[in-house]
Amino acid sequence: MIPPLLPTYNRADIAFDRGEGPYLFDEKNERYLDFGSGIAVSALGHAHPYLVAALREQAGKLWHTSNLYRVLGQERLAKRLIEASFADTVFFANSGAEAVECAIKMARRFHYASGAPERYRLITFEGAFHGRTLATIAAGGSAQCLEGFGPKVEGFDSVPFGDFDAVVRATGPETAGILVEPIQGEVGVHVPPPGFLKRLREFCDARGLLLVFDEVQTGIGRTGRLFAYEEAGLVPDIMAVGKGIGGGFPLGACLASERAAKGMIPGTHGSTYGGNPLAMAAGNAVLDIVLEAGFLDRVRMISGSMQQHLAMLAAEHRSVIAEIRGRGLLLGLRLHVPAASFIARLRESRFLGVGATENVVRLLPPLNIEERHVKEAMAALVAACASFETERKAV
Ligand code: PLP
């Protein structure tokens, strides 16, 4: 018999009842240290008093009006995102996939409006993840995500991540642009080779292509910069943002330069809920904190400390940990032991990490964790490593 919830997820048998900072509490009031942040979403931890107050205030005033009218929270959040980024304009959506959908449509529409409607294809990368809509599964290209869902949406040419020559070879007269995650998260935290993203920028400029960044996972401070493109020393033309921007409230955004957005005239795109007053209250409150002087410096500092601890851990437990990957607080441990079992053992120590392909455990803690949380995390990681080593010795 089909369960009441459509069985598309493999869920752990835990239900959380409340959260406080980087901690979650289950129904029995057991406390877990959450280094998954709901898959890189709860950027400021759980029940942050400032976010709670902002949402409470908005909830008592107005929830929803639709985009038939001006939404002042949207105007404020867009202005702030523009001031803090390369962008000149913003579209608000409700999720990462929706933000990427808008980015794909915008890239196609740019060429249409430029008199080249035949240029609709995007170069994408193996291992990419852009969401679960029909277009975003086609862009991601994963056979597992596409299987059984009929003809793949046309217009995506996938090449190996980091292979610039393959990008050049895949580019043709129908190519509209390149869609890329500055660090691939879901596939196991892939950082591209040095200079790769910059070469993509130069190539796009030379060939009249749009550079589209998917910063749904990397954006809003996750890598230690507000956006990962800053570290790469370039600016994209279009950028999808999601996850951390709402601090746990469903929110996505598609940012673009004026030039790239030129095809998106009234009637070309829309969303009933996108940018509703509640989501805007959450987004503005998140930015109030993330843009505070020193916030991102602290993210980089705590990341440095975590990476040091993890390097030591890997050196001491070589039979369990193969490699540490990532930037900022988007970190991955590639393991020699099955990642799913490792995550289950971490859970036994009341510690939450997130899986990724390539046998990787991702550590994506809230951005405002402190040194004591890093220490607590390390204790759980050491215990999990030790338990695998003990088992191996016993065999
Ligand atoms: N893009 C990237 C890089 C992601 O990591 C994700 C989600 O994991 C998405 C897009 C899709 O976001 P959502 O699940 O909010 O639709």
Active site residue 129: yes
Alpha carbon distance 78, 204 (integer Å): 26
Q: How far is the CA of 216 from the centre of ligand 1 (A)?
A: 6
How far does Cα 111 stand from its chain's mean position? 27
**For residue 395, pLDDT beyond 80:** no
Model pTM greater than 0.85? Answer: yes
* Mean pLDDT score, 316-339: 98
pLDDT tens digit sequence for 55-84: 999 999 999 999 999 999 999 999 999 999
8 within some domain: no
Residue 203 and residue 104 share a domain: yes
**Burial status of residue 49 (CB atoms within 10 A of its CB: 0-12, 13-18, 19 or more):** exposed
Helix, strand or coil for residue 239?
strand
| The one catalytic residue among 92, 237, 243, 351 | 243
Q: Of 37, 112, 89, which Cα lies nearest the Cα of 286?
A: 37
Quick one: which of 123, 97, 124, 122 has its CA closest to 109?
A: 122
CA of 135 to the centre of ligand 1 (A): 13
Residue 101: CB within 6 Å of ligand 1? no
The verdict on whether 35 is a catalytic residue reads: no
Residue 394: predicted pLDDT? 79
**Would you say how long the chain is, in residues?**
395
Burial of 90 (0-12, 13-18, 19+ CB in 10 A): buried
Q: At a CB cut-off of 8 Å and minimum separation 6, what does 295 contact?
A: 221, 289, 367, 368
**Residue nearest atom 10 of ligand 1, based on CA coordinates:** 130
Residues 236 and 341 in one domain: no
User: Are 51 and 61 within 8 A, CB to CB?
Assistant: no
| CATH number of the structural domain spanning residue 271 | 3.40.640.10
Q: How many domains does the chain have?
A: 2
| Within a domain: 84 | yes
pLDDT of residue 97: 98
What six digits make up the tokens of 67? Answer: 């985009």
Verify whether residue 157 is a known catalytic residue: no
Is residue 3 situated within a structural domain? no
Whether 216 and 354 map to the same domain: the answer is no
Q: Per-residue pLDDT tens for 254-270?
A: 999 999 999 999 999 99
